[in-house]
């Protein structure tokens, strides 16, 4: 087999791993889930408190928003660092490091939280927790789970993101009302990171004696596989699909609440309270979607992640309905549409990571995850920039809705092109 085929033909189960039969695999999966929850709670802890932070630090609201921007910027950068490290050091060390990066900087806010520059540095460190956790997930699932269980494993981990989002958004202002200090509120939420850190240390220590053997290419063969992967159309179509996914996610979650809340004709005029409730419906869909997608991957499409990824993009097209009076004017229909596109949003990232597992040799899974997710992460910034211009030029959200739904069409086309151009499964 040539180096090219070693990458472009999905490796066999024998090449990748001896499947784990032990129930301990679920305890190992929970390390990834706990790390995901930790970094997402850390991400969202600041969002509801940006106004309070700006007043406490004596900075503008725009400067406080930079605390979210810096977080996402360093998340994107850290993918490129963590990807190769996963292949070299293993998922266990990177997930443990991710938990530490979620917990320790949040605790430091208690002593450094009165300096804007210090908080920017803290947010940069916390952002790296994403880049260390996400590339660790595919090799972990690949090692510990049989092929027909990997979809649900990715789905469960993917569902933890919207769960943690809801927890962070709800807990942060509640703690602020209790303590009257945003620094104390953020520090209390570090408990999720400290729990994840202790859990990872304990479980991975036990897992050493239970871990299935992994057979991977090494040395020159691994380098040849990586070169072939970088030359493959699989990789760049996958990066484009990841770019489109981030474009959709960041734009939809950033713009939808204000579209629901703003008075007509700019938005729907439902008010901020109702807007929050409607986004809760979207989050519920985003929790259910990854699990349903994982079951479809395992039980219906037998590991063909491209097909479920296409379904995710197709469900996101329900976002077109946000501009229709026949949809928005009927509460049951409206809620159903919100749940559908939320489910589609929730499917996308788990299926992208499943696709990476499907395509590449185990020895380069971390690198390729870092490349897909790292480059794709810039789609979020690009989407927000374009939609911001559209909102400014038109004075309403209709063009932005069409742009977001258009990105879902691009995702569907990318899935189709991948199949025709490369004969992927």
Residue-wise pLDDT tens for the chain (425 aa)? 333 333 433 444 333 334 444 678 999 999 999 999 999 999 888 888 888 888 889 988 778 878 888 888 898 899 999 888 988 888 999 999 999 999 999 999 999 989 999 999 999 999 999 989 998 888 898 889 988 889 999 999 999 999 998 888 888 889 998 999 999 999 999 999 999 999 999 999 998 877 776 655 556 777 888 888 898 888 999 999 999 999 998 888 878 887 888 888 888 888 877 888 888 899 999 999 999 999 999 999 988 899 999 999 999 999 888 888 888 888 899 999 999 999 999 999 999 989 988 888 888 888 898 899 889 988 888 887 888 788 888 888 888 889 999 999 999 999 987 544 444 44
Hey, which residues does 214 pair with through a beta bridge? 17
Q: Which residues contact 72 (CB under 8 A, 6 or more apart)?
A: 127, 377, 380, 381
> 267: burial class by Cβ within 10 Å (0-12, 13-18, 19+)?
buried
322 with 249, same domain: the answer is: yes
Q: Are residues 58 and 185 in the same domain?
A: yes
Q: Are 193 and 243 part of one and the same domain?
A: no
Query: Is 231 exposed, middle or buried (CB count within 10 Å of its CB: 0-12, 13-18, 19+)?
Result: middle
401 shares a domain with 260: yes
Domain that holds residue 399: 220-425
Distance CA 247, CA 268 (A): 23
Q: Does residue 248 sit in the same domain as residue 179? A: no
Residue 339 lies in a domain: yes
Indicate whether 100 belongs to any domain.
Answer: yes
The reply to whether 176 and 227 lie within a common domain is no
Q: How many angstroms separate the first and last alpha carbons of the chain?
A: 19
Q: State the angle between helix axes of 398-422 and 233-261 in degrees (0 to 180), rounded to the nearest 10.
A: 160
- 11 occurs within a structural domain: no
CATH number of the domain at 114, please. Answer: 1.20.1250.20
Bridge partners of residue 17, in order along the sequence:
214
Residues with Cβ within 8 Å of residue 254, at least 6 apart in sequence: 384
CA–CA gap between residue 92 and residue 280 (Å, rounded): 33
Residue 121's CB is within 10 A of a number of other CB atoms, namely 15
In a shared domain, residues 306 and 324: yes
Distance CA 412, CA 209 (A): 43
Q: Do 283 and 248 lie in a common domain?
A: yes
* Closest by Cα among 125, 404, 115, 109 to 254: 404
């Amino acid at each position: 087999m040539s180096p090219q085929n070693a990458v472009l033909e999905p490796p066999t189960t024998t090449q990748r791993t001896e499947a784990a039969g032990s129930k301990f695999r679920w305890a190992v999966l929970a390390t990834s889930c706990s790390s995901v929850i930790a970094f997402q709670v850390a991400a969202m802890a600041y969002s509801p408190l940006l106004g309070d932070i700006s007043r406490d630090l004596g900075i503008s609201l725009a400067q406080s928003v930079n605390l979210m921007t810096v977080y996402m910027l360093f998340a994107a950068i850290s993918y490129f660092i963590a990807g190769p490290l996963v292949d070299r050091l293993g998922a266990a060390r990177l997930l443990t490091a991710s938990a530490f990066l979620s917990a320790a900087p949040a605790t430091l806010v208690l002593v450094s939280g009165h300096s804007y520059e210090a908080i920017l540095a803290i947010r940069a460190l916390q952002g790296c927790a994403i880049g260390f956790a996400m590339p660790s997930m595919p090799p972990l699932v690949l090692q510990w789970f049989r092929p027909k269980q990997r979809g649900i494993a990715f789905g469960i981990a993917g569902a933890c993101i919207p769960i943690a989002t809801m927890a962070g958004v709800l807990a942060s202002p509640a703690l602020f009302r209790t303590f009257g200090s945003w620094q104390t509120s953020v520090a209390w939420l570090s408990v999720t990171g400290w729990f994840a850190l202790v859990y990872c240390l304990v479980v991975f220590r036990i897992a050493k004696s239970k871990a299935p053997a992994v057979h991977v290419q090494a040395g020159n063969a691994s380098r040849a596989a990586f070169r072939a992967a970088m030359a493959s159309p699989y990789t760049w179509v996958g990066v484009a699909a990841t770019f489109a996914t981030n474009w959709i996610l960041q734009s939809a979650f950033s713009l939808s609440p204000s579209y629901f809340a703003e008075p007509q004709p700019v938005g729907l005029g439902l008010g901020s309270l109702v807007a929050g409730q409607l986004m809760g419906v979207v989050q519920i869909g985003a929790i259910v979607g990854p699990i349903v997608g994982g079951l479809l991957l395992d039980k219906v499409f037998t590991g063909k992640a491209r097909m479920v990824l296409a379904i995710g993009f197709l469900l996101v097209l329900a976002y077109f309905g946000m501009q229709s009076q026949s949809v928005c004017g009927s509460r049951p229909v409206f809620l159903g549409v919100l749940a559908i596109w939320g489910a589609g949003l929730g499917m996308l990232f788990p299926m992208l990571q499943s696709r990476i597992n499907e395509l590449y040799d185990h020895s380069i899974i971390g690198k390729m995850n870092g490349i897909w997710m790292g480059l794709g992460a810039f789609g979020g910034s690009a989407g927000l920039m374009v939609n911001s211009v559209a909102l400014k030029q038109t004075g309403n959200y209709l063009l932005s809705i069409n742009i977001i739904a258009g990105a879902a069409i691009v995702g569907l086309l990318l899935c189709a092109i991948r199949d025709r151009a490369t004969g992927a499964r």
